[in-house]
Amino acid sequence: MEEEELQDLVLGEETKFLTTTTTTKLELTVDEVIEDYIGSFGFSQLLHVFLVSLAWIFDSQNTLVAIFADAQPSWTCKGGGSWCSTNSTDIGGSTGTVCGLKSGTWEWVGGKGGSTIAEWGLVCDHKFRAGIPSSLFFLGSLIGSIVYGRLADAYLGRKKTVMIACILTSITTFLTSLSPNVWVYAFLRFLNGLVRSGIGICCLVLSTETVGRKWRAQVGQYGFFFFTLGFLSLPLIAYPTKTNWRNIYMIISVLPLIYAAAILPFVSESPRWLAVKGRRKEAMEVLNKFARLNGKKLPKNLTLISPTSSLSNEKNTTKTKTLWSATWAAKRMITIMISGFVVGFVYYGIQLNVENLSFNLYYTVALNALMEIPAVFMGSVLLSFTDRRLLLSTSAYIAGASLIMCAFISVGWVQLTAEAIGFMAASTAFDVLYVYCVELFPTNVRNFSVSMLRQALMLGASLSPLLVVVGRLSSSVSFLLFGGLAMFSGFLMLLLPETRNSPLYETLEQQEEEEKLCSVSDSSSLELGKQ
């Protein structure tokens, strides 16, 4: 009898223990759930990143379409030959200038529809008008980055912002193809730059916020493969439509609309953003979906910690800091924006400046696009074991040295090789800089900080077309300036902190506190080492 009572007592205690453990809440952050239960990078995240990154294709197309639409066309004397050049003190032929030639003695190769320059006569006294549409496009991207960064962080989230950006990009791209003159064209390019700027920002953040710490850098680079595919597709679209620049705009206007309607509905919102906004139930639904696709199951007693509320309880803060009110974050942002300005100027400038090389435009653009593939691959591999600052700085120095070489080389293939190496290095710096920015700032200002970097990149890009126009007069000047600025950016990047293997923080207060603790810990270790 006593033995039966003892067994009942033991069973009762076990039941009580099991009940307690199943009813006790398991409170974790999104980062801990991903790392401990879902997996750092499983099938669900691979599929998610793939679907998100597809948007980079038409983001690239809209950004770089001007290489062909606004290209400097060749001309020839009517009837062939070079007899009309004798009527001018300028050098005649397709490589010379039409300024000073009598009207009716020459014609554009391929007709007036081949580019905006040919159609609207953007040469001679009007040559600087040719750079205005591209400059306004990047200026629009700069302004759009401010708007989209705020929308994605504070109101709409990453997914809805991408949806709006895709639809508006499709509309403005199509309208651009109907431009009656250069001023309407420039205005529509400005609008196109403004509305498409949310695509790259949100896609980068949406990809990196769904994976674990180990895969963050690689995923950040993943989208640039698709950017390269978009870049590589341009010569293939432009060549069949080379007699009418309007057709290339019509073709690339279709992709954003298809993506918004057929692919984006299958993309999930960032669980980190949902958690920060207090929408923990929705965040849990996304995390459960990821876990199921990875063949795993989250504990039933799991609840998410609200980063903002837990931090305010611990520190009893009465006011949440903004990026600009936190001194350390403001200094960091200003430094990365200056670096971004230079990188944007060089990266986009090299691509637009290909017409000033002594080589076929279609082959040159295709080669540059192909050079982005090893750049992205190397960036992905090197980011897994290399310090961000060292990789960025080295890439900038290589780009600078290669571009300066282009200024002193006149042999076609040699100059093209040096330019391709410089572009590959600049592309690596451009890609890694985005990933670096994601790691430098916490979730509640991450999209805003990436948008600020985007603004700096686009501001630099908006000035590069003007230097390209100057390069039509002297290619050496443009290459020397691009190269010198690239080296300057390499120095600036060394002033930023290292982020390799650091966690993604949720709020500015949390990051400030944790980084101070890490700093104190490192100082203590150094002192102990000296002793």
Identity of the amino acid at 374: P
99: left (phi over 0), alpha (psi -120 to 50) or beta: beta
Q: What is the DSSP string of 356-396?
A: GSSS-HHHHHHHHHHHHHHHHHHHHHHHTTS-HHHHHHHHH
- Identify whether residues 285 and 416 lie together within a single domain: no
SS3 per residue for 49-85: HHHHHCHHHHHHHHHHCHHHHCCCCCEEECCCCCHHH
Q: What is the pLDDT of residue 262?
A: 96
In a domain, 89, yes or no: no
pLDDT at res. 312: 47
Beta carbons of 294 and 44 less than 8 angstroms apart: yes
Is the distance from CB of 274 to CB of 143 less than 8 angstroms? no
User: 490-508 pLDDT, tens per residue?
Assistant: 888 888 888 887 777 778 8
Taking Cα atoms as reference points, which of 456, 454, 389, 396 lies closest to residue 425? 396
Per-residue model confidence (pLDDT) at position 288:
94
Q: Does the residue 93 lie in any domain?
A: no
Per-residue pLDDT at 264: 95
332 and 298 inside one domain:
no
Domain, as residue range, for 173: 25-76+113-308
Structure confidence at residue 3 (pLDDT): 55
Domain count, the chain: 2
Within-domain flag for 169: yes
Inside any domain, residue 18: no
Spans of the chain, pLDDT less than 70: 1-23, 79-97, 306-321, 354-360, 410-412, 471-475, 519-531
pLDDT at residue 526, rounded to an integer:
43
Residues 356 and 422 in one domain: yes
266 and 330 in a common domain = no
Confidence (pLDDT) at 34: 92
Q: Hey, what are 211's tokens?
A: 């994976």
Q: Phi, psi (5° rounding) for residue 81?
A: 80, -165
Q: Are residues 372 and 251 in the same domain?
A: no
What angle is formed at CA 316 by the lines to CA 511 and CA 282, rounded to 5 degrees? Answer: 65
pTM value is: 0.73
Q: Are 193 and 172 in contact (CB under 8 A)?
A: no
For residue 479, what are its two tokens? 């290459």
Residues 6+ apart with CB under 8 A from 191: 140, 172, 175
CATH code of the domain containing 429: 1.20.1250.20
